[in-house]
Structures are given as structure tokens and as C-alpha cells.
Amino acid sequence: MYEFNNHKEPSCSSVANLLSRTLYGKRFFPYYTFNLLAGFDAEGNGTVYGYDAIGSFDCTNYIV
């Protein structure tokens, strides 16, 4: 939908924010997941986003 509405691919940070909002919106349901999102930023550097179960996230260099 993002590509259709904006005529461009979403950035990694846009997808990270979308995933955070989606997880936060489902925080009271029985889904309890810890997610990892990896991609490239605008300069071509690798980025990794780690999430907790309710959607809080942080951009880090690595996640275990």
C-alpha cells in the first residue's frame, strides 16, 4: 500500500515504525513475539531493529 500511495519503496525506518505500531496495536491479544527487522538505510549501510513484545524498538548494530 505504501508503494501504491507514495509511488516509491518504503525506507527501512518507515517499515520499522509500521511494525512498531502494528505490534503496539495488538498488545492485548495473545500474540507475544519478539521481532527483528534488518535492512539498509538511505546511505546503503545495514541497519537492524530489535523489538520487544509490545512494539518498543531500537536501532542497533547487532542483536542476539
- Per-residue pLDDT tens over the stretch 24-58: 887 777 667 888 999 998 899 999 999 988 889 99
Q: What is the 3-state secondary structure (H, E, C) of the chain?
A: CHHHHHCCCCCHHHHHHHHHHHHHHCCCCCCCCCCEEEEECCCCCEEEEEECCCCCEEEECCCC
pTM exceeding 0.85 = no
**Which has more pLDDT, 27 or 16?**
16
Confidence at residue 41, expressed as pLDDT on a 0 to 100 scale: 87
Does residue 17 have a pLDDT over 70?
A: yes
